[in-house]
Each structure stands twice: as structure tokens, then as C-alpha cells.
Amino acid sequence: MKTTMHKIRTLGLFAAAMGLAATPVLAADVTDAAKAEMSPAEIVRAVEAAGYTNVRDIEFDDGRWEMEATSPAGAPVDLEVDAKTGKVLHEEAD
């Protein structure tokens, strides 16, 4: 988790150096993401182990990870994933 926060801070410093403005929403998302039990990389590995591919647009919201992916059947889907276990809680066609 400490490594994830370091990467997020480094990315923020890079964005500031490039003249990009961080938004208050981003700051709130980073704070919430720090409360997650599993890092984004761990979540991606768990989702891929469940058969999903092309995992992207990962966000932490309301205590769970949300992302887009391709289902095991090859269809584009939106996923909600448990932040503690990595279990897919909800799948919806994208």
C-alpha cells in the first residue's frame, strides 16, 4: 500500500511539473483508495485470474474498485470488485 501511495504522489508531482492541475475530486479519490485493502495491481491480477482481460479505467469508489474490462465471453463490461477480496461483485454490459 505504501508503494501505491508513493506512485500516486510521484504521479501528482509529475503532473504538477508538467503544468497539469489536480482536481479536488482526484485528491478525494486518492484518500479513499488508500483505505482499500488491495492495491490496483492486486485487483487487476485478481480480475484477470477470474478470466477477464483488457482491464482498464480503474477507480476506487464507495469502498470498492470499479473498472472496465473484457469478460471471459469476450464482451465489454463494467465491473465492481470487492476491495478486500478481489471478488467481482457486479458485472454490467458496457
Vertex 57, ends 72 and 16: CA angle to 5°? 160
- pLDDT of the residue at 86: 95
User: 29: Cβ–Cβ under 8 A, 6 or more apart, which residues?
Assistant: 59, 60, 61
- Residue type at position 19: G
- pLDDT of the residue at 32: 59
Residue 13 is part of which domain span? 1-35
- Are residue 78 and residue 51 in the same domain, yes or no? yes
- Are residue 9 and residue 26 in the same domain, yes or no? yes
- pLDDT of the residue at 31: 54
- Are residue 44 and residue 59 in the same domain, yes or no? yes
CA 63 to chain centre: 11
- Are residue 41 and residue 29 in the same domain, yes or no? no
Over the chain (94 residues), what is each successive 10-residue block's mean pLDDT?
A: 47 43 41 73 96 97 95 98 96 95
